[in-house]
Structure 1
Amino acid sequence: MNNREIVQKLWNLCNVLRDDGITYHQYVTELTYLLFLKMMKETGHDYIVTEGYRWDDLVSKDGIELKDFYKLLLFELGKADNELLKEIYRDATSYISEPKNLEKIIKSIDALDWYSAKQEGLGDLYEGLLEKNASELKSGAGQYFTPRVLIDIIVQLVNPQAGERCHDPAAGTFGFMIAADRHVRSQTDDYFALPEIDVNFQKHQAFSGVELVKDTHRLATMNALLHDIHGQLVLGDTLSSLGEDMRNYDVIMTNPPFGTKKGGERITRTDFTFTTSNKQLNFLQHIYRALKINGNARAAVVLPDNVLFEGGTGAEIRRDLMDKCNLHTILRLPTGIFYAQGVKTNVLFFTRGKSDIGSTKEVWVYDLRTNMPSFGKRTPLTEKHFEGFIAAYTSENRSEVQDERFNVFTREGIAKKGDSLDIGLIADESLSIYDNLPDPIESAEEAVGKLEQAILLLNEVITELRAVEGPMTTQEDGVYETEQQQELLQVAEASEGYKA
């Protein structure tokens, strides 16, 4: 049995939990709690798990006893002395309410072909689960999930080297850093070509990241562990004061979250020259300021179109970027690759200059968006689609590249356009507007996924409102709520009725 088959078997177990109302993302989190214990046993690292709360202790129980023991296990491991256990089980909560469902999942995991899984790599198995989760429109987890093929292409072109400090300030599940580690291993005979002191650096210092969301940080920690990466993976907000000390990196590769800061509030960083509530612009500021000033430190950042043309502070940040860095390449990405229709993104490649003025002389733009297929779940992006871009990017003389998608713009010309970088898109040759319509099946699946997410949120509102204390009024059915609660409950319950 190969890892793909094992991933599918694990994924199919999610059907067992549907009656418990568990989402795909919650299921992957639940699997992480269980898989960690099983994998520690399979790799001979059971000793780090608190005695009495190991995999064998779990599989020896059933029924109500199993459910009660599992809850106790999550609590105890969450306050263990071992830092790794704390990272995986901090504030862990089980979403499984039926003991028989928990028992079935544990026994199914125990019965899998773990010999084959270890031969192929437990890290690859876990990454397969994360990718499966991202590809499910209903989960919402993949709305801005960076496709593996795009990560691999970016890492290949940025080309991190042994001895360099690589960082992702919006780490997600740590995909960029795991791909970077894989890339360096491929150049160094899986690190066997390096002295022991350098191997230690690669495993413990070379790759780091920051992730804001607790559950995602948990998945990232597990992912790093299974790939034998033990660098600093911080739970926190890069755009807070925490990020002020994150500097002097050789390589930064990231896909920051889209949107504005909640409530439109401005960030609390005191080291930024420009203030804005736009998250991507702030991440961009952080990234080019966090690179080493040595003429070789480099970054690749996935950003939405608005970063390229937003006026005011946006133009000032782009101007500052082009002064401090050589923004040598922009890749205009196709739509539909982030499991959400209509999301338009780009990859900015830049190198930190040795001075803070005039580092960018010209910008090359590759249009991989216009006249491209409609990508989505049924038409995935593949490495073949990047062949033209890779050839153009790596060319020793870019001016000799014969590719209509690859065009150059001088710094002076960009300045005349108000420092807008919304450039380089070629003429659209579509014969009909119908050629660019999204896939109807994928659009319907996406709509269903969003409705289900909305219903889940409304149910959470109902639960929270029922717990609120306040002046009470009586209803005929004997349920007591405030008048404001009644109004909100009517809206929420009407939405639930619409679903039915």
Structure 2
Amino acid sequence: MNISSIDVLSKIFKNPEDDLALFENLHVLEFYADEKDRVYVKTLEHNGKDKVVLTDKKTAPEEIVRQLFLYELLNVYKYPKDRVKLEVDVQFGREIGKKRADVVVYREDMKTPYLMVEVKKPDVKDGLGQLKSYANATGAPILVLTDGKIQNNLLRTDPNLFEDLPDLPKFNETVEDVQKKIITYDDLDDVNNLKQLILDLENAVLANAGVNPFEEIFKLIYAKLYDELETPRSQNRRFRVIAGITNKENLNNISRLFNEAKGQWRDVFKDKDEIEIPENAIVPAVSLLQKYRLFGSNLQVIDDAFEYLINQDAKGGKGQYFTPRFVIDMCVKMMRPKKNENIVDTAAGSCGFLLHSMQHVWRNEITEADYGSSFESKRKEYADQHLYAIDFDPRSVKIGKAMMLIAGDGKTNVSYANSLDSSLWDTESKARFSKFLHRFDDFDLNKKNEEAMTDFDFDVVMTNPPFAGEVKGTLLNKYDLGFKFDKDFERTNKHQNKMTRDVLFIERNLDFLRAGGRMAIVLPQGVFNNTNQEYIRRYIMKRARLLAVVGLHGNSFKPHTGTKTSVLFLQKWRDDEERKKAGNYPIFMATSEKPGKNNSGDYVYAMDENNNIKKDENGSYVYDTDLDDVANKFIEFAKKHNFDFI
């Protein structure tokens, strides 16, 4: 009995379209069931046997991947059916039959392997070493590892050296034909799993190269971004492996590209920075990335990869963690940034708040319907003129700038600086932010502010400052909260001995806001609950109206920390008269019960009626969280109470 391919695939895969993203047509396979309800796939192998792929006890997703890949070999790459064999014994010394290659394409003599394929079920990536051992045992020059989502094509150039091929040679094509093909911008593929590519770079290429993987990967990423941005789209990519030249010459080619990228983004790298990847590793490293396009990529894909790179040890040790994107989306929805408003994140990390604010404004105010053919230039203009970020971690700045470049237009306003101490800002950072300085009526105050750069007029601040770490010394003198407060919650002239950074960030962010400006800030729960921090709460209420407090679930920042956090939403008072007139006012309060993560810190996704992961209009997965519902309830509350920004 024949069975619908849709029915079979949906029972074997959580989300067939995602799990088998490599294959354009998922309906080329035929299925049938026997009298015991075992489901078979009709094999495409010449004289091969049909395979069981589904029973009431088990599934065989890797067999589906294998048959779909076999279809590609036969129909796209045009290899003769009698040259292709499945489950071929591989001989290791005297041992025969202990290991089997999933797919082998033979040369004309039908004895010499030309191409070998190792197939895994989706998200299993442990086959690369096994595949290389097959190549060493058989001499096959071309290797393929695929899981249905990602395909790695490797060329064995030496017993222990492999480089990536941008594509497989078709029947009667040579490897040289593939390597010499011009790669234009339009030929580049979307990157579906950048995190896995980075893992491959770390494990297969840079693990034994004696270099810092983070630094070298980002040098390659910026060189690639520069190539995508500056090389005319119809011309051959400069970020590629050039066939027929030495490893050293390929290294020199990529180094020249990186040096040009340094000139474009001077505040990301130092003048002395150079690519330190060894000559024998540069070709496989570049070949892994060269066929993919970073600009315009799905931000969730890029985000996952960059969050992996800034791991707990590098970033979390400072009490600073990437903010889950569903928390950011809630903040953006509640703060409602507008196209003419200036936004800053003073502890920007990967610039998530800015990116999602940009997408919000693009989606709601700068559309093709609004601006016709000029809407894209208007979007770039908005990103260039209204989005600003600061971070004191150079690794975060590299990531934040890359995220803004990938999502925007090649320009970025991300500064490497200490938000808490503007006296240390470099000339470029001061110039970037000087146009947002608050203008006092008093000449002396204005002059002092121009020198100290303390008070600004940003419309919106959204941020997740670092929780850990304490500030001591003279810097505390610049902050009201650096002094002790008396029992009436008035500031005294006695200095605090130390203060946690998150508390100082509250005051600093209020200073960044114009009168009437809005702020969303993630804070540890203690700021809201601890009796010994009541003076902080009083200080906040004196300077701003409390719009909302949203308690986040304890899983929100796992696996990095289980610290309980809340998001505080404020609107800065315009003057004392407005504050006094407000009197006792209502505050929106909510607590999240669906965190979008499990107890281990893994993301949990929402499922549709077919038990597939839901996607939004941008193709990103939808998280299983209630924060969007919280945001909608806040909007109802804000409209009821006539908030002026809703």
TM class by shorter chain equals 0.5 to 0.7
Which secondary structure state, in structure 1, belongs to the residue aligned with residue 588 of structure 2? strand
- Output the amino acid matched with 1:218: K
Listed one character per residue, the Cα deviations across residues 432-465 of structure 1 (whole Å, up to 9, x for unaligned) are xxxxxxxxxxxxxxxxxxxxxxxxxxxxxxxxxx
Equivalence for 1:322:
541
Q: Does 1:152 align with 2:309?
A: no
Change (3 A) 1:217 1:198: same
Which of 581, 594, 601 is 1:377 aligned to? Answer: 601
Contact 2:552 2:595 in 1 (8 A): no
Count of aligned positions: 378
Equivalence for 2:72:
none
Distance 1:215 1:372 in 2: 27
Equivalence for 2:590:
366
Listed one character per residue, the Cα deviations across residues 462-486 of structure 1 (whole Å, up to 9, x for unaligned) are xxxxxxxxxxxxxxxxxxxxxxxxx
Distance 1:4 1:10 in 2: 12
Listed one character per residue, the Cα deviations across residues 168-198 of structure 1 (whole Å, up to 9, x for unaligned) are 0111121110111111000134477258896
Shift of 1:63: 3.8
Change (3 A) 1:383 1:329: farther
Distance 1:141 1:191 in 2: 41
Contact 2:240 2:287 in 1 (8 A): no
Which secondary structure state, in structure 2, belongs to the residue aligned with residue 292 of structure 1? strand
Q: Percent of pairs identical after alignment?
A: 18
Which secondary structure state, in structure 1, belongs to the residue aligned with residue 522 of structure 2? strand
Q: Does 1:280 align with 2:502?
A: yes
Mapping for residues 203-242 of structure 1, pairs under 5 Å: 203-228=383-408, 230-242=411-423
Q: Which ranges of structure 2 fall in alignment gaps of 5 or more residues?
A: 1-21, 23-189, 424-451, 484-497, 606-622, 642-646
Shift of 1:138: 6.8
Is the deviation greater in 319-328 or in 273-282?
273-282
Equivalence for 1:355:
575
Q: Does 1:46 align with 2:231?
A: yes
- Output the amino acid matched with 2:416: L
Is the deviation greater in 368-377 or in 150-159?
368-377
Which of 260, 264, 270 is 1:90 aligned to? Answer: 270
Listed one character per residue, the Cα deviations across residues 214-238 of structure 1 (whole Å, up to 9, x for unaligned) are 2221221222122225353221111
Distance 1:10 1:328 in 2: 41
Distance 1:354 1:173 in 2: 31
Larger strand proportion, structure 1 or 2?
2
Q: Does 1:121 align with 2:297?
A: yes
Shift of 1:380: 3.5
Greater length-normalized contact order (CA 8 Å, ≥ 6 residues apart): 1
- Output the amino acid matched with 2:422: S
Contact 1:20 1:96 in 2 (8 A): no
Is the deviation greater in 324-333 or in 213-222?
213-222
Distance 1:204 1:73 in 2: 24
Mapping for residues 273-352 of structure 1, pairs under 5 Å: 274-275=482-483, 277-294=499-516, 297-310=517-530, 314-338=533-557, 339-352=559-572
Distance 1:319 1:58 in 2: 64
- Output the amino acid matched with 1:41: D
- Output the amino acid matched with 1:127: D
Change (3 A) 1:107 1:388: closer
Distance 2:572 2:269 in 1: 39
Larger helix proportion, structure 1 or 2?
1
Shift of 1:270: 3.0
Distance 1:204 1:397 in 2: 30
Equivalence for 1:486:
none
Change (3 A) 1:212 1:246: farther
- Output the amino acid matched with 2:585: K
Equivalence for 1:5:
193
Listed one character per residue, the Cα deviations across residues 32-74 of structure 1 (whole Å, up to 9, x for unaligned) are 221222233334x138xxxxx9636988864456557766875
Equivalence for 2:460:
251
Q: Does 1:55 align with 2:277?
A: no
Mapping for residues 74-223 of structure 1, pairs under 5 Å: 76-77=259-260, 82=263, 84-90=264-270, 93=273, 98-110=278-290, 112-114=291-293, 121=297, 126-133=302-309, 144-190=321-367, 193-194=370-371, 201-223=381-403
Which secondary structure state, in structure 1, belongs to the residue aligned with residue 568 of structure 2? strand
Distance 1:59 1:151 in 2: 45
Distance 1:137 1:308 in 2: 26
Distance 1:250 1:362 in 2: 23
Contact 1:337 1:376 in 2 (8 A): no
Is the deviation greater in 277-286 or in 216-225?
216-225
Distance 2:309 2:395 in 1: 14
Distance 1:179 1:352 in 2: 23
Is the deviation greater in 166-175 or in 65-74?
65-74
Mapping for residues 436-475 of structure 1, pairs under 5 Å: none
Distance 2:298 2:242 in 1: 21
Q: Which ranges of structure 1 fall in alignment gaps of 5 or more residues?
A: 48-52, 401-500
Q: Does 1:395 align with 2:636?
A: yes
Distance 2:227 2:565 in 1: 42
Distance 1:57 1:5 in 2: 21
Q: Does 1:33 align with 2:219?
A: yes
- Output the amino acid matched with 1:30: E
Distance 2:595 2:389 in 1: 36
Is the deviation greater in 5-14 or in 170-179?
5-14
Change (3 A) 1:311 1:289: farther
Shift of 1:158: 1.1
Change (3 A) 1:353 1:376: farther
Distance 2:412 2:597 in 1: 39
Change (3 A) 1:42 1:60: farther
Listed one character per residue, the Cα deviations across residues 125-168 of structure 1 (whole Å, up to 9, x for unaligned) are 5434213435x657656961111121122112211111001110
Which secondary structure state, in structure 1, belongs to the residue aligned with residue 509 of structure 2? helix
TM-score by length of 2: 0.51
Shift of 1:291: 1.4
Contact 1:88 1:222 in 2 (8 A): no
Equivalence for 2:165:
none
